[in-house]
Amino acid sequence: MTAEGCIRVGQEAPDFTATAVFDQEFKTIKLSDYRGQYVVLFFYPLDFTFVCPTEIIAFSDRYKEFSAVKTEVLGVSVDSEFSHLAWIQTDKKQGGIGDIDYPLVSDIKKEISTNYNVLDPDAGVALRGLFIIDPEGTIQHATVNNLSFGRSVDETLRTLKAIQYVQSHPDEVCPAGWQEGDQTMIPDPVKSKEYFASV
């Protein structure tokens, strides 16, 4: 955390211990238990709302793609674990989310959303913050959407794969819009011309 209470990329992700719902059971999880793998940590405002289920279901539908690149997904809201469970047990046609493939974390004391600087104090809920945390526990990517529009799973996966690429190829960088398999660039005044000459 910085003196202003904001967190930035390159900083260690604030650890937390919280109750989550996974596989319709209550489990205590710690962020630090996921060291050694990537984590997509995303915040959403509230259970039983409108945009939120579309995001949560979209991440669950694509969960295998995250798992295939050694990444866990964690969803967080200020609801209780009991609310999470009720929402999971509600049919999708009735505004529920059904079973999902990753844990939903309860932040009922609003400590996690405060530590990640995504709590909207006026609304009392978390903004749509999303953080990609690397295996060392360092935040590599952070975005925050306002309440009324959702995020893109495609863009999250693209960014995650770019992070993983540059971390495994430290002498290369990924240009704008880079997709897995695309050409990268060597950040050198001479060597970068190879990339620019090819586009």
- Distance (Å, rounded) from C-alpha 37 to C-alpha 140? 13
Closest CA to 132 of 7, 13, 6: 13
Closest CA to 141 of 150, 149, 132, 152: 132
Residue 196 is classified by DSSP as: H
Which residue out of 31, 52, 74, 105 is catalytically annotated?
A: 52
Concatenating the DSSP letter of every residue in 76-141 gives EESS-HHHHHHHHTS-GGGT---S-SS-EEE-TT-HHHHHTT-EETTTTEE-EEEEEE-TTSBEEE
Task: Provide the angle, in degrees to the nearest 10, between the axes of the packed helices 153-168 and 51-61.
Answer: 50
Give catalytic status of residue 6 as yes or no. no
**Where in the sequence numbering do the catalytic residues fall?**
52
